[in-house]
Amino acid sequence: MALAEADTTALEAQLRRRMERLYPLCRSLTGDGVRQTLAILADDLPATHPLEVRRVPSGSHVFDWTVPPEWNARAAWIADATSGERLIDLADHTLHLVSYSVPFSGRLDRAELEPHLHSLPDRPDQIPYRTSYYARDWGFCLSQRQRDGLGRGPFDVVVDTTLTEGDEGGELVYGEVLLPGEDPDAGEVLISSHLCHPSLANDNLSGLSVAIELASRIGARRHRLSYRFVLAPGTIGSLTWLAEHPGVRPRHLLVLTGLGGGGPLVYKRTRRGGQAIDRAAEHVVGRRAGRIIDYSPYGYDERQYNALGFDLPAGRLTRTPHGEYPEYHTSADDLGFVHDDELVEAMTAIEEILEVLEGDATYRNLSPYGEPQLGKRGLYPKMGGRSADDAVMAMLWLMACSDGETSVLSIAERAGLPFGVLRKAADDLLGAGLLG
């Protein structure tokens, strides 16, 4: 599936614009930043398949976990107590405040402040990303250069946050988009992306932007399979979705994140491996000179979906995986770190993977006694050239291997041709009565 140049430009602009709107928001596991994020994502979907916002009260039990209190940050800063100058301010960068910091207000000297500061001495200009979801504490993240310049204090520190649950309210929200397919028995594809990180572009915004674009594009065309998009905070969000949908068994799952930031596409296999999503993704990513890596029980939400109790086949698509690039979980994972062409390539690859899931099938050659005459059936392309050769080779491979057991994808792999070329040739042969 190739996009025309004008389409590519429009698509790049759309993916970029969405990330720019999302980037400044103070997201976490819960809170207004997540609601605002879902509202922005919902803007880009038509009323025919809206983004549904699901709400689960804080304190709800989800398997071995508990939905945390809702966290909101109104303001947070470290000021020089003498001059009143704000030295570090949440208003300047969402990474400055440790996510889930408890409220605090007080005057501290440097030694008292130190245990609450986080910086990266080996990367002196970057602000790290830190969370404190389960340990009740507060803290600030800052560049090493900012830390070195703080002075001796004393400091006035304000952490104006709220943590609400129980009678005060408090909830976890996540988004879901459903696109019912034409064939209710064909199964469902679940595409999952986390939305709990603040101003980090590759690690979460790239996946969200591409996922919503996919939902919009799939919704505008015919599709046999059903699609479901789950946009939820990492770990607790996907577990909450799983707890709330015990009867839903998606047949193919794909976790999306980190789709920019350099490097080739990387597909991580499902725990079992050899599933339809694995075969489709390995074909597409392999042809794009990407990397295929085996399952490991570390990473993003694929580890929840693949857990033994659910046993759902979830693969994952990224570029350079988390932890393997120096910008990971720092302020250097900004809008400039994600390139437009990377997102378009990722989206095109995902659409090709879905094309395989939609279109793979097994046929039988109905004219198996020697090679059939393609010319007299109008199947020989009139024009020469490489794509014509591919089309003929695709037909010959299909006639050679369609034994009622070997799928179109398997034949594409053996022929070394893209699935889409084989699929088109199969349709031509079906139309000519040569396959059935």
Among 228, 233, 234, CA closest to 172: 233
Measure the CA–CA gap between 274 and 292, rounded to whole angstroms: 12
When the beta carbons of 119 and 257 are compared against Zn ion, the nearer one is 257
Measure the CA–CA gap between 71 and 77, rounded to whole angstroms: 17
In angstroms, give the least distance from the CB of 213 to Zn ion: 21
When the beta carbons of 203 and 213 are compared against Zn ion, the nearer one is 203
In angstroms, give the least distance from the CB of 51 to Zn ion: 22
- Burial code (b: 16+ CB inside 10 Å, e: under 16) for 69-90 equals bbbbbeebbbbbeeeeeebbbb
In angstroms, give the least distance from the CB of 200 to Zn ion: 7
Measure the CA–CA gap between 310 and 303, rounded to whole angstroms: 10
Piece of the chain touching Zn ion by CB under 5 A; list 14-22, 199-207, 370-378, 396-404: 199-207
When the beta carbons of 176 and 203 are compared against Zn ion, the nearer one is 203
When the beta carbons of 203 and 334 are compared against Zn ion, the nearer one is 203
Residue 118 parent element (H or E): strand 117-118
Piece of the chain touching Zn ion by CB under 5 A; list 41-49, 134-142, 196-204, 267-275: 196-204
Q: Is 358 in the site for Zn ion (CB under 5 A)?
A: no
In angstroms, give the least distance from the CB of 322 to Zn ion: 6
When the beta carbons of 206 and 275 are compared against Zn ion, the nearer one is 206
Q: Is 301 in the site for Zn ion (CB under 5 A)?
A: no
Per-residue contact track with Zn ion, 219 to 248, x per CB under 5 A? ------------------------------
Q: Are 81 and 108 in contact (CB under 8 A)?
A: no
Piece of the chain touching Zn ion by CB under 5 A; list 20-28, 91-99, 200-208, 270-278: 200-208
When the beta carbons of 203 and 358 are compared against Zn ion, the nearer one is 203
In angstroms, give the least distance from the CB of 129 to Zn ion: 7
The count of residues interacting with Zn ion (CB under 5 A) is 1
Question: Which residues touch 107 (CB under 8 Å, ≥6 apart)?
Answer: 81, 154, 155, 156, 157
Task: List, in sequence order, every residue forming a beta bridge with 160; answer none if it has no partner.
Answer: 75
Question: Which residues touch 261 (CB under 8 Å, ≥6 apart)?
Answer: 202, 206, 319, 320, 325, 327, 333, 337, 338, 342
In angstroms, give the least distance from the CB of 258 to Zn ion: 8
Q: Are 219 and 50 in contact (CB under 8 A)?
A: no
When the beta carbons of 203 and 327 are compared against Zn ion, the nearer one is 203
Question: Which residues touch 312 (CB under 8 Å, ≥6 apart)?
Answer: 190, 249, 250, 253, 305, 306
CA atoms within 13 A on the CB side of 148: 8
Which residue's CB atom is positioned nearest to Zn ion? 203
Piece of the chain touching Zn ion by CB under 5 A; list 22-30, 198-206, 215-223, 375-383: 198-206
In angstroms, give the least distance from the CB of 318 to Zn ion: 11
Q: Is 333 in the site for Zn ion (CB under 5 A)?
A: no
When the beta carbons of 191 and 435 are compared against Zn ion, the nearer one is 191
In angstroms, give the least distance from the CB of 255 to Zn ion: 12
In angstroms, give the least distance from the CB of 234 to Zn ion: 7
Write the burial class of residue 297 (CB in 10 Å: 0-12 exposed, 13-18 middle, 19+ buried): exposed
When the beta carbons of 257 and 306 are compared against Zn ion, the nearer one is 257
In angstroms, give the least distance from the CB of 257 to Zn ion: 8
Question: Which residues touch 8 (CB under 8 Å, ≥6 apart)?
Answer: 344
Piece of the chain touching Zn ion by CB under 5 A; list 2-10, 197-205, 348-356, 407-415: 197-205
Tokens matching residue 42: 């919902």
Task: List, in sequence order, every residue forming a beta bridge with 282; answer none if it has no partner.
Answer: none
Measure the CA–CA gap between 237 and 194, rounded to whole angstroms: 8
Among 312, 332, 139, 171, CA closest to 236: 171
When the beta carbons of 299 and 418 are compared against Zn ion, the nearer one is 299
CA atoms within 13 A on the CB side of 327: 19
Piece of the chain touching Zn ion by CB under 5 A; list 30-38, 201-209, 336-344, 361-369: 201-209
Q: Is 428 in the site for Zn ion (CB under 5 A)?
A: no
When the beta carbons of 234 and 418 are compared against Zn ion, the nearer one is 234
In angstroms, give the least distance from the CB of 204 to Zn ion: 7
Q: Is 203 in the site for Zn ion (CB under 5 A)?
A: yes
- Site for Zn ion, rule CB under 5 A: 203
